[in-house]
Amino acid sequence: MKFSKLSQLFLVSSIGLLVATLLTACQLVNIDYILVAGSAGSGTSTGQINVYALDASSGALRTGATTAPSGGESPVAMAVSADYANLYVVNQGTSNNVVHLAVGGTGQLTQKDVVTGIGTPISVAVNAAGTFLYVVSVSGSGPILTEFPVSSTGTIGTAADTEPLVIPGFTGDTVIPTAVTVLANSTAVYIAAYDQSAYNPGGSATSTANPGWVFGYAVGTGGALTATAGSPYKAGVKPSALVSDPTNRFVYVTDFAQNQLIGYSIQSGSTLQFLLNGPFRTGSEPAAIVVDPRGKFIYIANALDSTVSAYSIDLSTGTPSSAVNPTGSATNGTDTDPVAILVEPALGRFVYTSNYLGNSVSGFLLDPTAGTLTATQATPYPTVSKPSAIVAIPHGNHSLQSVTP
């Protein structure tokens, strides 16, 4: 009888251990929180931010912390601080504001402060040093770049500098900014814009100016902004997005109108010079661009095609290669109308797009050697209506993916 009881106890313990092992093996391991901003409908405070947890093994997204208000009506862009503790959202519509939210340990968001009075905001970026926030907007006097100091807790201060975006020789033209980016070393800021007076589909062109431009500003002591030599730089017809690589050597701009990628090398720390063998072909209506955190690959979301184009970067010249894909195709299918794109920073293994008309997020597994993409499990993932912006927040004690080629 004694032996039988011991045997039963051993059997029960073994079964319990087996069940625990299986449960552990099936447990989802969250490596990032993916934040997606969109509009829940009409009204003055309908902007919402969905929070998703990213599974390390499959790349699948599942609902995370409670959906949070964006602090305005129509969120169009987001930026996150380098320490991932602060999120900045720009809202349009009747709101026309910049909202600062604190990011909690489980991805939960808490609104902190709001900035208004800069017109209609278009895009936002925060420097890696966590000292300045850059917002491009269109005010009554025209398009402007506004630089705000940021405190150690992420609070937005009073504007430190404001720069009008004007094309030399065509000061009366209507210039529409589309995106802003800041170098990883925080020493220069670039803005993509197009001249609506020279490029006006469906209307009349009233200017002979080149339509597409990139404005550059060097960041000096105390945040002082100085136009870089040769700025603004020609950038096709309708530049829609831009990004710099993590080594501060190259800037890439998508041309929405001509379906192309334009590359620049960075000279003397901030001046731009065309890559000699560009521009490079993209899908139709490229709307968003990202460089992976290792500085090896470029991914572009093509809005009309509903695809992602993938390129490898020649680390010596900055030249994007022909698109890479395991099937030999140049594209990877998303849900309808991808308008924003990211590579998650914790492992640098997953790519996500927010799909404006698909009301969803599409996910891809990134091969860190070849740069190829394959669809993640259960993609696409439903979101709030009209998702227009997407960012990622690493979770846990992961060493973020970053290299210096």
Which domain covers residue 365, as residue numbers?
28-394
Compute the distance between CA of residue 153 and CA of residue 171 in angstroms, rounded to an integer: 39
- Residue 120: what residue type? T
Neighbours of 172 (CB within 10 A): 10
Q: In the prediction, which pLDDT does 30 show? A: 83
Q: In the prediction, which pLDDT does 55 show? A: 94
Domain-embedded: residue 71: yes
Q: In the prediction, which pLDDT does 310 show? A: 94
Q: What is the CATH number of the domain that holds 195?
A: 2.130.10.10
Domain-embedded: residue 403: no
Q: In the prediction, which pLDDT does 289 show? A: 98
Chain position carrying tokens 């029960």: 12
Query: In 3D, which of 323, 283, 272 has the Cα closest to residue 306?
Result: 283
pLDDT digits (tens, 9 = 90+) for 140-187: 989 999 999 999 999 999 999 999 999 999 999 999 999 999 999 999
What does DSSP say about strands 212-219 and 188-195: parallel, antiparallel, or unpaired? Answer: antiparallel
Compute the distance between CA of residue 295 and CA of residue 303 in angstroms, rounded to an integer: 24
Domain-embedded: residue 302: yes
Q: State the total domains in the chain.
A: 1
CA 238, 241, 247, 248 torsion-angle sign = positive
Domain-embedded: residue 399: no
Q: In the prediction, which pLDDT does 276 show? A: 87
Q: Indicate whether this model's pTM tops 0.75.
A: yes
- Cβ atoms of residues 391 and 87 within 8 Å: yes
Distance of CA 276 to the CA centre of its chain: 27
Domain-embedded: residue 32: yes
Domain-embedded: residue 5: no
- Residue 161: what residue type? D
- Residue 134: what residue type? Y
Compute the distance between CA of residue 324 and CA of residue 307 in angstroms, rounded to an integer: 13
Tens of pLDDT along the chain (405 residues) come to: 444 443 443 343 333 333 333 333 445 678 899 999 998 766 556 899 999 999 999 999 999 989 999 999 999 999 999 999 999 999 999 999 999 999 999 999 999 999 999 999 999 999 999 999 999 999 998 999 999 999 999 999 999 999 999 999 999 999 999 999 999 999 999 999 999 999 999 888 999 999 999 999 999 999 999 999 999 999 999 999 999 999 999 999 999 999 999 999 999 999 999 998 889 999 999 999 999 999 999 999 999 999 999 999 999 999 998 666 655 455 699 999 999 999 999 999 999 999 999 999 999 999 999 999 999 999 999 999 999 999 999 986 544 555 444
Compute the distance between CA of residue 53 and CA of residue 31 in angstroms, rounded to an integer: 8
- Report the first-to-last Cα separation within the chain, whole angstroms: 69
Compute the distance between CA of residue 109 and CA of residue 337 in angstroms, rounded to an integer: 27
E strand or H helix at 222, and its extent?
Answer: none
Domain-embedded: residue 13: no
Domain-embedded: residue 258: yes
Q: In the prediction, which pLDDT does 164 show? A: 97
10 Å CB burial of residue 340 (0-12, 13-18, 19+) is buried
Q: In the prediction, which pLDDT does 183 show? A: 98
Q: In the prediction, which pLDDT does 28 show? A: 63
- Cβ atoms of residues 99 and 110 within 8 Å: no
pLDDT digits (tens, 9 = 90+) for 309-347: 999 999 999 999 866 665 545 569 999 999 999 999 999
